[in-house]
Amino acid sequence: MSHLVPSPTPRLAFRRMTVDDLDDMAALLGDPEVMRHYPSPKTRDEALGWIEWNERLYQEHGYGLWLVTLRATGEFVGDCGLTPQEIDGVTELEVGYHVRSDLQGNGYATEAAAACRDHAREVLRAARLVAIIRPDNRPSQRVAEKIGLPFERAAVSRSGLPVRIHATRL
């Protein structure tokens, strides 16, 4: 099971990220526009840590954030996937997504997140899926709503930041 990634969508394909993806991931996670709802953009070392975190998730859980590419060209789009996140003392399965700033607005985040939601339901047999989103991140909230995760409640993240929990039963 652990080798499984979400099924391709009409425009996108998924695969596990590796250290070979560091240039793309460092550019993505270091982009102030992509990371404007995070405390700060990530350094190259932090981007490497992000890849290593996802490699551990693949190992331990069989899922994580996957690298997203355009099926037509193989071009790097961003990452999207499923991660365990603790909120209010409960570990939830979260869908997360980051799309290159120059590719935002094309519906890629929604398309990728919907494929990950289906993977959570059909492959992982998860009972519930959440998205943890900063209150001022309206584009991300719209993605969550479009894939069937309505606003559930306000909360505080583990790093002490106010967040909105979008959630659904699968």
Predicted confidence (pLDDT) per residue in 57-76, tens digit: 999 999 999 999 999 999 99
Q: Is 115 left (phi over 0), alpha (psi -120 to 50) or beta?
A: alpha
| This model's pTM is above 0.85 | yes
Domains and CATH numbers, the chain: 12-169 (3.40.630.30)
Sheet holding 128-133, edge to edge: 12-16, 65-70, 76-87, 90-99, 128-133, 162-169, 151-156
pLDDT in tens, 63-120: 999 999 999 999 999 999 999 999 989 999 999 999 999 999 999 999 999 999 999 9
Q: How far apart are alpha carbons 127 and 111 in whole angstroms?
A: 21
Question: Is it the case that residue 25 has pLDDT exceeding 70?
Answer: yes
The dihedrals phi and psi of 56, each to the nearest 5 degrees, come to -65, -40
Token digits of residue 60: 């331990």
pLDDT of residue 158: 84
Structure token digits, residue 78 = 């961003």
